[in-house]
Amino acid sequence: MRFWRRKPAEPQQPGEAPAPPPDEPTPEERAELHEQTGRAVERTRRGFFGRLGALFERPDFDDTLWDELEEILIGADTGLETASTVLDRVRQRVKKEGVKQSARVRELLREELIAILREPGETPPAWARGDVAPPLVILVVGVNGAGKTTTIAKMAHAFKRDGATVILGAADTFRAAATDQLKVWGERVGVRVVAHQPGADPGAVAFDTLAAAESSKADIVIIDTAGRLHTKSNLMEELKKVDRVIKRKDPSAPHETLLVLDATTGQNGLLQARTFTGAVGVTGIVLAKLDGTAKGGIAFAIAHELGLPVRFIGTGERMDDLAPFDPVEFVDSLLA
Ligand SMILES: Nc1nc2c(ncn2[C@@H]2O[C@H](COP(=O)(O)OP(=O)(O)OP(=O)(O)O)[C@@H](O)[C@H]2O)c(=O)[nH]1
């Protein structure tokens, strides 16, 4: 699956054709996305959404259907508010259309689940749009252990595969191990890592990473940050500072700020997300470890309650185990 798209050269003459629209995925890429998404939601599907099959097997339905649907959605960690919204919308349409067949309810449920995931809007991420002059800067935030470092490595690997030169910035200077871990991944992926001594100023690391990207004409910069939550206010101040340093170098950057959430923590992740979005302008979510949980319904809560798009899903521990998030693919895999 192609992730990154280079900014086309500026048109030579005024009036010359603008950049072409993003490439449509090839049938092979579609198949790959389908396989990866299916694998990532396997547990959620088996755990909760699998029960939908039996519900909709009956040709008609009665009022108990709504309670059962609510139980399934909440069980998968969509949260009460999001579950109620989806089901209210389905119910209204059922009433309006005078639906009698459960197969039609299933169709409406599918449509409303997709609509929820599309609520944050459908603007593609900066790396896929091809409208950012390099270096494209991605700031990555999230609590320790969420899967930040692994996700950064996976992203770097994917962008590199697409032909981009990538530089990583180890701005989690709080833990020496974090820098070491990023360096190990950098070597494995084959991308440069800019790092300072433990305890150094994370802003200085960000600054040097951008400078290195500029001088080497890199396409993409990904900056790792600290994620200790026990000194929350310090952490948020530190993140704000990193963000300011980046903006001083390039006022349009960071072009994306991604919050990595551990999908296995379900609704807890939502609370974390609120803390981070309050401090830095998060533009998207990465749901790491989606393959390891039956709580994949959290994706609906993220879209509906935070209004943030999910950009990537973690589908396993290997370098290739990262997939772009596709609302239709996601819902169809859950309902399969
Ligand atoms: N199954 C699965 N495991 C994952 C995924 N992403 C990360 N992990 C695992 O989750 C653990 C934590 O990942 P890290 O990348 O070290 O997490 P981090 O947020 O950088 O944590 P710190 O380095 O402690 O800040 C590792 O064992 C990863 O292999 C995923 O998508 N699926």
Residue 86 φ then ψ, to 5°: -60, -50
Which among 289, 291, 293, 319 is the best mutation to test ligand 1's pocket, defined by most ligand atoms within 8 Å of the CB? 289
Whole-angstrom Cα distance, residue 52 to residue 48? 8
List, edge to edge, every strand of the sheet that includes 310-314. 192-194, 166-171, 220-225, 136-141, 256-262, 284-288, 310-314, 322-324
Whole-angstrom Cα distance, residue 63 to residue 67? 8
pLDDT digits (tens, 9 = 90+) for 220-242: 999 999 987 755 678 888 899 99
- ipTM for the complex shown: 0.94
Residue 249 φ then ψ, to 5°: -75, -40
Residue closest to 250 by CA, chosen among 115, 126, 69, 147 = 126
Q: Which residue's alpha carbon is at the smallest distance from atom 10 of ligand 1?
A: 147
Mean pLDDT of 139-159: 95
Average confidence score pLDDT of the chain? 92
Say which residue, 283 or 57, is predicted with more confidence: 283
Whole-angstrom Cα distance, residue 259 to residue 109? 28
Count other Cβ atoms within 10 Å, centred on residue 6: 14
Kindly give the distance from the C-alpha atom of residue 289 to the centroid of ligand 1, in angstroms, as a whole number.
Answer: 8
Q: What is the pTM of this model?
A: 0.93
Mean pLDDT of 71-86: 95
- Which has the minimum average pLDDT: 67-71, 98-102, 228-232? 228-232
Whole-angstrom Cα distance, residue 156 to residue 326? 20
Q: 181 CB under 6 A from ligand 1?
A: yes
Which among 317, 318, 320, 322 is the best mutation to test ligand 1's pocket, defined by most ligand atoms within 8 Å of the CB? 317
Decide if pLDDT at 10 tops 90.
no
Count other Cβ atoms within 10 Å, centred on residue 333: 23
Q: 291 CB under 6 A from ligand 1?
A: yes
Q: What is the CA angle 35-268-235, rounded to 5?
A: 105
Strands (E), the chain: 136-141, 166-171, 192-194, 220-225, 256-262, 284-288, 310-314, 322-324
Six-digit token pair at 144? Answer: 């320790």
Kindly give the distance from the C-alpha atom of residue 260 to the centroid of ligand 1, in angstroms, as a whole number.
Answer: 10
Mean pLDDT of 7-28: 70
Which among 143, 150, 179 is the best mutation to test ligand 1's pocket, defined by most ligand atoms within 8 Å of the CB? 150
Atom of ligand 1 nearest to the CA of 145: 21
Coil, strand or helix at 18: coil
Instruction: Report whether 240 contacts 280 (CB < 8 A).
Output: yes
Instruction: Report whether 140 contacts 255 (CB < 8 A).
Output: no
Coil, strand or helix at 315: coil
